[in-house]
Amino acid sequence: MNKFLRMAVAVILTVAWIAAPATADDSVKTADSDTVRDLQPQVVTTPVSVTDILPTLLDLLGLEIPAGLDGRSQAGRLRGEGGELDAKPRLFLQETGLWFFAREVVAELAPGEEGLVYPDFPDGLLTVESGSPPHVVLAPQHVRAVLRAKHRRLEAGPWALVYRPAGDGAHFSLYRQDQDPWRAQDLAAQEPARLHELMTIFYQEARRLGDSDLLPPAPGVIFSP
């Protein structure tokens, strides 16, 4: 079993034990248990991730946080301390799911851009993989097309960079999500420096995560990675 998975299971069991109702013999509770019990609910207004759960629990229990975890400990926020974590923008890289009718969706999301598409659901997008029981899976011949056609979004603090793959390369839009949560006003033309900064971060983060299906920027998009 992966060491991180073993650690996660151990932490979950520990927290479940800590949260269990007290019994007549509660003398074995530790100082760390009391620390977790004494925490008060806190409102966190900046983004967090499910990857933060493991390092946060380890921190609260006084255990070492191993290197290589994507998440950050939020223990300081739970204690009401805030501080350094608030000053560091979080990076969230997201992608679209599987579209059963890709042509319609892409035409709506990126009108006039000749966005990348793949066969629709009735046209052989899925197949049945033998087994016991059989599984419905993406047809192997369409896997690469589906991965290349996915739209991605990088969120960094209040900013969001949207990546849209098309026949001539990647198109980008830039939004200020704290002021424009529906991402209706593209600020790419007004904020070229911010656009190029986030494009650089986008390609770096995608490479770090092993995404090899990205397109280079479309002609006319000035970018120096």
Of 174, 171, 184, 116, nearest to 145 by C-alpha is 116
pTM passes above 0.95: no
Do 176 and 225 form a contact (C-beta atoms < 8 A)?
Answer: no
3-state SS assignment for residue 190: coil
If you ran DSSP here, which 8-state letter would residue 125 be given?
S
The CB-side HSE value for 203 (13 A sphere, CA atoms) comes to 14
If you ran DSSP here, which 8-state letter would residue 62 be given?
T
Of 97, 104, 129, 135, nearest to 119 by C-alpha is 104
Question: What pLDDT sits at residue 75?
Answer: 83
Return residue ranges of the chain for CATH 3.30.1120.10.
92-208
3-state SS assignment for residue 136: strand
**Amino acid letter, residue 64:** E
DSSP letters for 15-46: HHHHHSPP-S--TT--HHHHHHHTPPP----S
Question: What pLDDT sits at residue 87?
Answer: 52
Residue partners of 138: CB distance under 8 A and separation at least 6? 98, 125, 126, 127, 146
Question: What pLDDT sits at residue 17?
Answer: 43
- Cα–Cα distances in angstroms (integers) from residue 17 to residues 14, 27, 130, in the given order: 5, 14, 42
Question: What pLDDT sits at residue 28?
Answer: 42
Along the chain (225 residues), what's the average pLDDT of each consecutive run of 10 residues? 53 48 45 60 73 87 84 80 59 90 91 90 90 90 94 93 94 94 93 94 92 91 58
Answer whether CATH 1.10.3720.10 is correct for domain 92-208: no
Question: What pLDDT sits at residue 31?
Answer: 43
Enumerate the β-bridge partners of residue 217.
170
Dist CA 91 CA 88 (whole Å): 9
How many Cβ atoms sit within 10 Å of the Cβ of residue 54? 21
CA 201 to chain centre: 14
